[in-house]
Structure 1
Amino acid sequence: MAATDLTKAVDLSTHAEGTGPNRFRRPVYVDFMPPCNSACPAGENIQGWLSHAQAGNYFEAFQTLVEDNPFPAIMGRVCVKPCETGCNRNHIDTTINIHAVERYIGDESINQQWQIRYNAKPTGKRVLVIGAGPGGLSAAYHLARLGHTVEIFEAGSHPGGLLWTGVPEYRLPKNILDAEIDRIVKMGVKISLNHKVDNVLQEKAIGNFDAVFLSIGAQLIHKEDFEHDDSVYITNAFSFFNEMKNNASPFTRKKVVVYGGGKLALYLARIIKRFGSEVAVYFSGDKKMMPAYDYETEDALAEGVDVQLLQKIKSIAKNKITLEKQKVEKGKAVDTGEFETIDADVLIVANKQESDSGFLRAVSGIKINDDGTVVIDANRMTGGEGIFAGGDMLPGENRSSTIAIGQAKKAAKYIDAFLSKVTFQKPDKHPTAGYRKLHMWYQTEAPQKEQDKLAPAVAVKSFEEIIGGLSEPEAKFEAHRCLSCGNCFECDGCFGACPEDAIIKLGKGNRYKFNFDACTGCAVCYEQCPCHAIEMIPEPVNLSTDVK
């Protein structure tokens, strides 16, 4: 056999097992969990909406997508893409550009003004959502799909949470955010802005709400303990976002230090770079401890942001910041006793986000941690009866919009069960179809369609969106790169390969069935199925029929 032949050599010592006068095993069609679906924090049926995109039916792709995530245009831009890390195509060439196809579908839905297709019978139940960030909006959306009446109380002047205040326009244009929020409002969800909740139980009683979902995020910055004079202007990340809207001059053409290692710190640094300032990011840990993803750091470096690791602020005096070098011991950054000083005009602290949840202390049973995060049980409920929580205000969670959206979707199911006085049972999940399960006897020459991207030297001159979208042909091509891992996509491979004509086609969308009166159990169908949608099982006994 040629060295370049992708087809594995047949093992004749086992291949004949089950053939002959007696069949000892038989094929069955199975469904596995695609690794992209499994990795998605929002629980999207990625393989499902990609299949509609392959057919050019973007409306159905949109409807399948929004069953789980109401923000395809937003998440197609800001998601950290764990689905692409899990994509089996990485073992062949490069991942499917999933987020780019999602963005195309989302943008098309905005351009075509598609509305959400759902049919929910009103339940008569009312739910209060506190916080109009991605988690709160997602919870409201999913609860509305279930037929509940939902109101959101938002302390700020605009819905969106950190998507509005913290994600720059070069990453997420405001008109895209507004368009997808507006779609939720059109479903009947009411948003009350500038409505800060101080007493949850009182608001619940006044509004006659049957349940509450808390999603206030983590928009406080932990106060750093170091000595300082007034020579350097000191502010924190969220104060900066408010200040720059009215007056960016304190941050323009200055020497600015951003203290923190998350994507929030890098967003800030890149914004300030666009103000013509010299900016450096300092973080007390090493690269492994840095919360930001590598690509976020690389983008900041490409735009001229200086990133320094293992540096901890000790004091500030006379326009100089004194830093103590750190070293990592047993996974923690510790002091070394070595110091250096740097010049600075401005310090923006963007380290250690906390949740402003002090108002919940009046509610009996709710446990609040030192950083303001709240504790929930297995039903996503706090210690307060009928009060649920999700998003950045939960402890031990990686903070991202996608995670918040997924948590809110889960919470909506538990809230619905609570309102219906039943117990929500999580459905069983299929095993994941890892690459080793696939029978890749072929290979395609299908390089990934990459998105256009502004050169860093051009990008820093404005807040224009840096990464462009795919065209329709590119989005369809990218969708066609999907391997349909673990699920039949009706390629007719088994139908054509069966030497006994034992496979019956049931028509488009209905897959196939086996005629076990003709099947010999040779496993040719199983061996050729590239996506592992067929499994061989031991021959059952005492069956009433053999056509299945």
Structure 2
Amino acid sequence: MKEKPFAITLDVGSSLANRTGAWRTERPEYVHRLPPCNQACPAGENIQQWLFHAESGGYESAWRQLMRDNPLPAVMGRICYHPCETACNRVQVDNAVGINAVERFLGDEAIKRGWTVEAPSVSSGKRVLVVGSGPAGLSAAYHLRLLGHEVTIREAQERPGGMMRYGIPRYRLPREVLDAEIDRVPALGVTLETGTRVDDVLAAQRDGGFDAVFLAVGAGIGRRTYIPAGDSARILDAVALLGSMEGEGPPLLGRTVAVYGGGNTAMDAARTARRLGATDAVVVYRRTRDRMPAHDEEIEEALEEGVRMKWLSTIKHADGGRLTIERMRLDETGFPQPTGEFEKLDADTVVLALGQDSDLSLLQEVPDLAVDHGMVEVAEGLMTGHQGIFAGGDMVPAERTATVAVGHGKKAARHIDAYLRGTGYEPGAKHAPAGFEGINTWYYSDAPASVRPRLELARRVSTFDEVVQGLDESTALFEARRCMSCGNCFECDNCYGVCPDNAITKLGPGKGFAIDLDYCKGCGLCVAECPCGAMEMVPEE
């Protein structure tokens, strides 16, 4: 008996036989929202996008996405204070995604595997001078070169890196990592001139035939304060101390060291003193811990390493190896006031960590350039009052972190590029932020963050080996997969699977979905079951 061919027919009860779209008063739409991590990143990284590549094991693709915004991922994965993680929505579920740890893993993986960035094949014919090779200068040079311009960096120090090299200790940033990432910039064709100080920026621009200048001299001058002291008192500034660690021999500080200040540089100086043999390193700070400008993790690591803290204290007098300390109190405005109570403190060396200033002497002959409180005033595009001269990093009003400086370098490069081409640069409009209220947490299992291993405490104060270690491939993959893709579709198929009207069509990998409004009756199930808040209901017109 011959079999009849099998066929699917639609009866009256089938959803495809009934165009239920006519019932609709609201319709679902796919949306793209700004992830909170992206919004909080000072370097302007597309964090969610490179995490998307990383969570599928596409580490090189993730690294290349990262390098579009930040040329120093292995460095920033160590020294950035990750405001992206503070903003992460996942912190309301268990712990923030370890974005910084995954960034470091990708940066280290690139160094290990020798991944490179190709230089542009076409030159614009324009030349740009970058003064300073810290994070802002390197970032600007990198992005300007990729935009097709000829770039020269001039650095006064003998080695590049700025405060990353001369201000951040090796136990936080190994020099082989720093060197590996810096080397990519001249490999693109950027000319790097070290040991070359720029004393007059206009003369340097004129004599070198540069079409624009980006100033990124950093803040490498330690601030001083008047402390009455005897002839035998030894007083150093923290910037000089940390910078001297790049010399041939470490400085001799003695057995007892007092660090005056409360910022991250003070923590670095105290921890460095412990590694140089100080049996007692004390941080003297005028306010309380909660008002300390140092990041909490820096304070915690200093305390773990035996650094003592004398909060609500100030140095009144230094006489040889003996300090006079006055106790302070905070008034109703939070300002420290003297109490008239004194105590003695042994200290072979006093290290001043009271902030840093930029050397602006190269700008003395520049007209129309405004300086306020030791910082250069710039417009929105980071151009100074003088046409063609831009500035960024620590020398302009902004938070003084390496990640902010990297972001300044990228921003300046885009505006310099527009200036050189006679156009204007307008950044694209940002999407609305993705809030936690749009996340369907039922679909995310508890997965506490991976903890980065640390060097054993017993070894820390006797070596400059790196303290915070990196994730291995398995933990980095796990950490990347904890991302909830806030506000953006990651093609989980939930909407496709729950639609009772078969109104949603898959367009293919990476292309998302389409909604057939002939059949969608606006029930909202797809929106309710979207894990990441990438859909919303809007009134039907």
Whether the TM-score (by the shorter chain) exceeds 0.5 is: yes
Out of 344, 348, 362, the residue aligned to residue 345 of structure 1 is: 348
Q: Is 1:135 matched up with 2:118?
A: no
Structure 2 gaps, min length 5: 1-19
1:117 is displaced (CA, Å) by 4.6
Check 1:90–1:514 CA distance in 2 against 1; reply closer, same or farther (3 A cut): same
Matched, 1:390 2:410: no
Contact 1:232–1:344 under 8 Å retained in 2: no
Q: Please list the CA deviations of residues 30-63 of structure 1 after superposition, one character each: whole Å capped at 9, or x if unmatched.
A: 0001111111110111110111111111111110
Contact 1:258 1:269 (8 Å CA) reproduced: yes
Alignment-mate amino acid for residue 326 of structure 1: M
Give the whole-Å Cα distance in 2 for the aligned partners of 1:242 and 1:474: 35
Distance (whole Å) between structure 2 residues aligned to residue 118 and residue 64 of structure 1: 16
Tell me the equivalent position of 1:324: 326
| Alignment-derived partner of residue 490 in structure 1 | 491
Distance 1:23 1:120 in 2: 54
Distance 1:367 1:336, change over 3 A: farther
CA shift, 1:323, in A, is 2.2
Please give the alpha-carbon distance, in whole angstroms, between the structure 2 residues aligned to 1:248 and 1:53.
41
How far has the Cα of 1:403 moved from its partner? 0.7
Per the alignment, residue 242 of structure 2 pairs with 241
User: Pick from 331, 340, 357: which aligns with 1:354?
Assistant: 357
2:377 matches 1:375: yes
Provide the rounded CA distance (Å) in 2 between the counterparts of 1:467 and 1:238: 23
Cα drift, residue 118 of structure 1: 6.3
User: Could you tell me whether the CA contact under 8 Å between 1:211 and 1:415 is conserved in 2?
Assistant: yes
* Residue of structure 2 equivalent to 1:464: 465
Equivalent position amino acid for 1:135 in 2: A
Change (3 A) 1:451 1:318: closer
Please say which of residues 338-347 and 265-274 is displaced more in the overlay: 338-347
The verdict on how the C-alpha distance between 1:20 and 1:509 changes in structure 2, with shifts beyond 3 A counting, is closer
- Could you list the per-position Cα deviations for residues 237-276 of structure 1 after superposition, in whole angstroms to 9, with x for gaps in the alignment? 122234443443522x421111111111111111110112
| Displacement over 4 Å in runs of 4+ | 117-120
| Counterpart for residue 314 of structure 2 | 312
Q: 1:515 to 1:194 in 2, by over 3 A?
A: same
Given that 2:119 and 2:145 are in contact with CA atoms closer than 8 Å, whether structure 1 keeps it comes out as no
Distance in 2 between the 1:448 and 1:93 partners? 8
SS at match of 2:112: helix
The CA distance in 2 between the partners of 1:167 and 1:222, in whole Å, is 17
Provide the C-alpha distance between the structure 2 equivalents of 1:185 and 1:176, rounded to a whole number of angstroms. 16
CA offsets, 1:3-22, max 9 Å, x none?
xxxxxxxxxxxxxxxx8853
Q: Deviations over 1:272-326 (max 9, x none)?
A: 1011202111112222332111111000000000122222222212432222222
Q: Which residue of 1 aligns with 2:103?
A: 102
Residue identity in the other structure for 2:420: L
- Partner residue of 1:182? 183
- C-alpha separation in 2, matches of 1:331 and 1:424: 43
Q: Residue deviations 1:60-84, cap 9 Å, x none?
A: 1110000000011111111101111
Matching of residue 364 in structure 1 with residue 364 in structure 2: no
- Matched letter for residue 208 of structure 2: G
Shift of 1:341: 2.2
Q: What is the correspondence of 1:438-457 to structure 2 with a 5 Å cutoff? A: 438-457=439-458
Q: Partner residue of 1:208?
A: 209
TM-aligned CA deviation for residue 120 of structure 1: 6.1
Aligned partners of 1:63 and 1:117 also within 8 Å: no
Query: Percent identity of the aligned residues?
Result: 46
| Secondary structure of the corresponding residue to residue 29 of structure 2 | strand
Q: Return closer, same or farther for 1:102/1:20 CA change in 2, 3 Å cut-off.
A: closer
Verify the 8 A CA contact 1:361 1:368 in the aligned structure 2.
no
Task: Check the 8 A contact 1:58/1:105 in 2, yes or no.
Answer: yes
Cα distance in structure 2, aligned partners of 1:318 and 1:143: 52
* Distance of 1:207 and 1:98 partners within structure 2: 42
Structure 2 CA distance for aligned equivalents of residues 470 and 387 of structure 1: 41
Q: Aligned to 1:90, what secondary structure does the other structure show?
A: helix
Residue-by-residue CA offset, 1:390-410 (whole Å, 9 max, x unaligned): 111112x22110011011111
- The code of the aligned residue for 1:228 comes to A
Instruction: Within 5 Å, give how 1:279-318 maps onto structure 2.
Output: 279-318=281-320
- 1:191-230 map, 5 Å: 191-230=192-231
- C-alpha change, 1:229 and 1:536, in structure 2 (3 Å) is same
SS of equivalent residue, structure 2 residue 289: coil
Whichever residue aligns with residue 514 of structure 1, its letter is: I
Q: 1:476-499, CA deviations, whole angstroms, 9 ceiling, x for partnerless residues?
A: 111111101000000000000000
Task: Report the 3-state secondary structure (helix = DSSP H, G, I; strand = E; otherwise coil) of the residue aligned with 2:375.
Answer: coil
Structure 1 stretches lacking a partner, 5+ long: 1-18, 541-548
AA at the equivalent of 1:392: D
Paired AA for residue 456 in structure 2: A
Q: Which residue of 2 aligns with 1:543?
A: none
Shift of 1:528: 0.3
Matched-pair contact (CA < 8 Å) for 2:35–2:487: yes
Relative to structure 1, the CA distance from residue 190 to residue 229 in structure 2 (aligned partners, 3 Å threshold; closer, same or farther) is same
Q: Is the 8 A contact 1:259 1:348 kept in 2?
A: yes
Provide the C-alpha distance between the structure 1 equivalents of 2:175 and 2:160, rounded to a whole number of angstroms. Answer: 11
What does the per-residue CA deviation read over 1:339-390, in whole Å, with 9 as the maximum and x for residues that have no partner? 22212110111112111112212211111233x2111112211111111111
CA apart distance, 1:190:
1.0
- Say which SS state the counterpart of residue 296 (structure 1) adopts: helix
Q: Aligned partners of 1:116, 1:466: CA distance in 2, in Å?
A: 30
Question: Which residue type is aligned with residue 177 of structure 1?
Answer: L
Quick one: structure 1 residues 120 and 531, their matched pair in 2 at CA, closer, same or farther if it must change by over 3 Å? farther
2:338 paired with 1:335: yes
SS in structure 2 opposite 1:196? coil
How far off is 1:337 after superposition? 2.7
Aligned residues of 2:219 and 2:358 also touching (Cα < 8 A): yes
For residue 359 of structure 2, give the secondary structure of its aligned residue in structure 1.
Answer: coil
Q: 1:61-120 deviations in whole A, cap 9, x for unaligned?
A: 110000000011111111101111111111111111111111111111001111115646
2 CA distance for matches of 1:388 and 1:174? Answer: 29
Match of 2:32 in 1: 31
Alpha-carbon distance in structure 2 between the residues aligned to 1:195 and 1:115: 28
CA RMSD after TM alignment: 1.5
Counterparts of 1:82-93 in structure 2, within 5 Å, are: 82-93=83-94
Partner of 1:8 in structure 2? none
Q: Which residue of 1 aligns with 2:5?
A: none
Please state whether the residue corresponding to 1:188 is helix, strand or coil: coil
Q: Deviations over 1:465-486 (max 9, x none)?
A: 1122111111111111110100
Residue 272 of structure 2: SS of its match in structure 1?
A: helix
- Is the 8 Å Cα contact of residues 231 and 345 (structure 1) preserved in structure 2? no
Output one character per residue of 1:426-460: Cα deviation in whole Å (capped at 9) or x when no partner.
22111111211212233413222222111222221
Which residues in structure 2 correspond to 1:137-156 (within 5 Å)? 137-156=138-157
